[in-house]
Amino acid sequence: MPMGYKIRLRPLTPEERQALDQLARAQSTPALVVGWAKILQAVADGATYQAAAHAAGRKSRDAVTDLVVRFNAEGLGALVPRPKGHPPLQYGPEEAERILREFRRTPDPERDGTVTWSLSLLQRALRAAPDGLPYVSTWTIFQVLHDAGYTWQRTRTWCQTGVVQRKRRGQIVEVTDPEADRKKG
């Protein structure tokens, strides 16, 4: 490696070398991870950072430097892609429970303007409530309801997955499918 590189790749263990070889040849692994594995292999074999970048189809040796720093610190964990491009989560379990509590409340036609909840009406009610969530989005509400097992039906109502109401001997009975979680995947 030429002089001037302040950050050098640490020596690879045989297990790391084998894992990099497998990742570099993998067909079903994301192309980003395959490229990173090829870069680390090239640097470990003595190539310059610029040559390693070109070998993997990249242009910048600065990205190679960043990858080497991450690999030296984390090992093979540096090859796991990190999520990008979205803001940090604002709502935690308490807020999710607040959304579900509002959803489970029967809407008042006079106050809420509806007899069944839609996402936008639920959003409006949550934003207007004194203990509500002033910036909650319909997407967040949808995710919370979906995670709680509710789905939007063709009848324009929300139903809990695996729970149905049946008429038995003149009474309405709620029946739960014991295999609902397995069927949902």
Look at residue 88 and tell me if it is in a domain. Answer: no
Q: Is the pTM of this model over 0.75?
A: no
* Residues 61 and 136 placed together within one structural domain of the fold: no
Look at residue 5 and tell me if it is in a domain. Answer: no
Residue 122 belongs to what H/E stretch? helix 119-128
Higher pLDDT, 74 or 82: 74
Q: What is the per-residue pLDDT across 91-143, written as a single tens digit (0 to 9) for each?
A: 889 999 999 999 999 888 888 888 888 889 999 999 999 988 999 999 999 99
Residue with the two structure tokens 């509590």: 101
* Residues 42 and 116 placed together within one structural domain of the fold: no
Residue 40 DSSP class: H
End-to-end CA distance of the chain: 50
* Residues 69 and 101 placed together within one structural domain of the fold: no
81 backbone dihedrals φ, ψ, rounded to 5°: -60, 140
Look at residue 84 and tell me if it is in a domain. Answer: no
Task: Judge contact between 99 and 142, C-beta under 8 A.
Answer: no
Look at residue 2 and tell me if it is in a domain. Answer: no
Domain count, the chain: 2
Look at residue 3 and tell me if it is in a domain. Answer: no
Q: List the one residue out of 131, 158, 154 whose CA is nearest residue 144.
A: 158
Whole-number pLDDT of residue 184: 64
Task: Judge contact between 125 and 114, C-beta under 8 A.
Answer: no
150 backbone dihedrals φ, ψ, rounded to 5°: -100, 145
pLDDT at position 74 over 70: yes
Look at residue 144 and tell me if it is in a domain. Answer: yes
At 3, is the pLDDT very low, low, confident or very high (cuts 50, 70, 90)?
Answer: very low
Quote the domain boundaries for residue 126: 93-184
Dmax over CA atoms of the chain, in Å, equals 87
Mean of the per-residue pLDDT values of the chain: 86
* Residues 99 and 56 placed together within one structural domain of the fold: no
* Residues 152 and 69 placed together within one structural domain of the fold: no
- Write out the two tokens for 6: 């302040």
Q: What is the per-residue pLDDT across 7-46, written as a single tens digit (0 to 9) for each?
A: 889 999 999 999 999 999 999 989 999 999 999 999 999 9
Look at residue 117 and tell me if it is in a domain. Answer: yes
Mean pLDDT of the 164-171 span: 84
* Residues 104 and 75 placed together within one structural domain of the fold: no
* Residues 70 and 110 placed together within one structural domain of the fold: no
* Residues 117 and 172 placed together within one structural domain of the fold: yes
pLDDT at position 180 over 50: yes
Amino acid at 50: Q
Task: Judge contact between 1 and 44, C-beta under 8 A.
Answer: no
How crowded is residue 31: how many other Cβ atoms within 10 Å of its Cβ? 10
Whole-number pLDDT of residue 2: 52
Amino acid at 171: Q
